[in-house]
Structure 1
C-alpha cells in the first residue's frame, strides 16, 4: 500500500497546492472558475478525444460492466435515499444526498489519475463509468427535483436533461473520439501533437482547480457529511465490487479500474447542481471537502488492495 500511496501523493499534493492558492486568495474564485472552464472544455476534452479515438466501441461498451456498475451504484443510491427518508428529508434534499453517495470525481480526478496509475487501457472502463453517471444519475436528480417542485414531469424536463448531455464536453468528446475510431481515420501528426500538448494540461489543471474550489467551501452538518463520505468511499466501491465480480463478472483489470473509480470522492458537479437548484449546497460542499480529504488514504488503499499480487 505504501508504494501506491506514494504514487497518489503527487495528485493530492496538486489538490493541496490549489487549496493553498485559493485559501490565500492568490487564486481568486473568478480565476478558479476560468481555470475550471479551460480544463473542462479544452484540456480534458482533448485528453478524452485522443484516448477514445484509438479505441473500439467494444473497449468502452461491456454489457456486464454496465449492469455490474449500475447494480452496485443503484444499491447505494437506494440505501442513501432510504436513510434520508427516515430522517424525514424532502424529496429534493434526498435526491441531492443520494447523488453525493454515488457520484465520484471521475472526470477531473479519475481520468488523469487512473490512466496514469493503471495504464491508458483504463480509459475505456473509466469513460463508461463517467457516461453512466452523467446519463443516468445526473438526469435522475433533475427529474426528481422537478417532480418535487412541480408535482409532475413534462417534455420540457426531459428536454432539459437531453440538452445538458449534448452540451457536456466529456460526452461529446467520447462520441467524437469513438466516431473517429469507427471511421478508422488516422490522426495526423500535427493534430496528435496538438491534442497531446493540450491534453497534458488536463491533469495538473484539473487537480489544481479541485483544490482551489475546495478552499471556498465551508463545513456544516458534519454528521451528514460523514455518512455520505462513508457511502461514497466505503459502500460504493464495495457494492460495485459485488456487482462486477459476482453478479455480472468482468475481467480482473476492468473490475480493478471500475472499483477504483467508484472509490473516488464526491464530484464537484453535485455541488453545481445543488447550488443551481438551491438545494442544500452547504451540505454538499461539506461532503465534497470531507470525502476528498479522507480519500487521500482510502483511494490508495483500494487501489493497493486491488492490484496486490
Structure 2
C-alpha cells in the first residue's frame, strides 16, 4: 500500500474536524462531549479488544515493553535537554516539555490498523497502554507543584491504563471473551478512531506561540525527527520481531497528543503555547510520517 494512501484518510478526518468547528458551526461543547465519549468509552473498548484478540507471548512482550520504555525515556530526555541548551523561560518549558514525548493515541491505532501487518494494531495497543502512564507522569512532573496528588490519582484511574491491564490479564490468563461482548467492543472501537481524529482537528490552533519560536521548534524537531532516530537505534540493539519493530518505529514518529494543552491549562501552565506546538507538530507530521514509513519499509 502507498504510504500516502495510508496517511491521507486520517489527515482528512483531522481536517474535517477543524472545518466542523471553525467553518460549519459545530460548537466547542459538541467536541467536548465527543472527547469525553472517546476517552472514557470508545477508546478503552478499542484497546481492550485489540489486545485480547491477538495472542501475546510474555517473552517477546517484555522486550517490546523495554523498547517502549526506552523510546519514552529518550523523548523525556530530549525535552529536558532543551532546558540546558536553550535556557528558555522556565514556565514555558514546563508547559511545552510534554510535546517532545507525548503521542496521539487515535492516530497510533488508526495507522497501525492500516499497515496490513498481522497483529500490528494489537502490538500498537500494547505499546500505547504501557506508554500512557509513562507519558502522563513525565507530562505532569514539571506542572505538579500544586496538583501532584490529583495528577497521581488521574494516572491511576486512567481508562486507557485500566483497559490495557484488564486486556493483558485476559490475554495471558487465556480468559475467553464472550462473542457478543467482543462484537460490541469491536463496534465501539470502529467509532473511536473516526471520532477521535475529528476531535484532534478541532483542537488545532497556531495562536499563542510567537514569543517562544525556538522552544517550539526544538520540541517539534525532537518529537518528529530525533525521537524516531533514537527508536531506530533501540530496535537495532534489542531483538524485536520485524512487525513489532515497524510498529514501534511508527509509534516513535507520532505527533503530540491533542490533549496536551488541556493538561497544561488545568495545571496552571501555558495552554495556548502547548496548543500551538501540538498543532504545528501534527501538521508537520503529515510530511514526516510518510518519509519515516517509506524509509522503514
Change (3 A) 1:192 1:68: closer
Report the CA distance between 1:243 and its aligned residue: 1.2
Matched length: 295
1:100 and 1:270 in contact (8 A); partners too: yes
2:121 aligns with: 123
Change (3 A) 1:59 1:11: farther
Output the CA distance in 2 between the equivalents of 1:304 and 1:273: 33
Output the CA distance in 2 between the equivalents of 1:64 and 1:229: 28
The TM-score with structure 2 as length reference comes to 0.88
Report the CA distance between 1:306 and its aligned residue: 1.4
Output the CA distance in 2 between the equivalents of 1:92 and 1:60: 42
Change (3 A) 1:97 1:60: farther
2:13 and 2:198 in contact (8 A); partners too: yes
The TM-score with structure 1 as length reference comes to 0.85
Q: Indicate yes or no: 2:209 matched with 1:220.
A: yes
User: CA offsets, 1:14-47, max 9 Å, x none?
Assistant: 1101111111252211111111111111221221
- Match of 1:38, SS state, is helix
Structure 1 residue ranges without an equivalent (≥5):
151-155
Q: Indicate yes or no: 2:172 matched with 1:186.
A: no
Report the CA distance between 1:90 and its aligned residue: 5.4
Q: Indicate yes or no: 2:9 matched with 1:10.
A: yes
Output the CA distance in 2 between the equivalents of 1:169 and 1:75: 25
Paired residues for 1:1-309 under 5 Å: 3-24=2-23, 26-56=25-55, 58=57, 62-89=61-88, 93-105=92-104, 107-119=105-117, 121-146=119-144, 149=145, 157=148, 159-214=149-204, 218-221=207-210, 222-246=213-237, 248-307=238-297
User: CA offsets, 1:144-189, max 9 Å, x none?
Assistant: 333xx46xxxxx94x5444222321111111222233344333333
2:136 and 2:155 in contact (8 A); partners too: no
Change (3 A) 1:56 1:164: farther
- Match of 1:104, SS state, is coil
Structure 2 residue ranges without an equivalent (≥5):
none
Report the CA distance between 1:103 and its aligned residue: 1.2
Output the CA distance in 2 between the equivalents of 1:234 and 1:56: 32
Cα RMSD, aligned residues only: 2.5
1:153 aligns with: none
1:69 and 1:243 in contact (8 A); partners too: no
- Match of 1:201, SS state, is helix
1:113 and 1:203 in contact (8 A); partners too: no
2:48 and 2:164 in contact (8 A); partners too: yes
1:68 and 1:249 in contact (8 A); partners too: no
1:226 and 1:290 in contact (8 A); partners too: no
Output the CA distance in 1 between the equivalents of 2:3 and 2:69: 27
Report the CA distance between 1:64 and its aligned residue: 2.9
Report the CA distance between 1:203 and its aligned residue: 1.6
Output the CA distance in 2 between the equivalents of 1:143 and 1:212: 27
Output the CA distance in 1 between the equivalents of 2:201 and 2:114: 20
Change (3 A) 1:175 1:96: same
Output the CA distance in 2 between the equivalents of 1:75 and 1:160: 26
- Match of 1:268, SS state, is coil
2:72 and 2:101 in contact (8 A); partners too: yes
2:265 and 2:271 in contact (8 A); partners too: yes
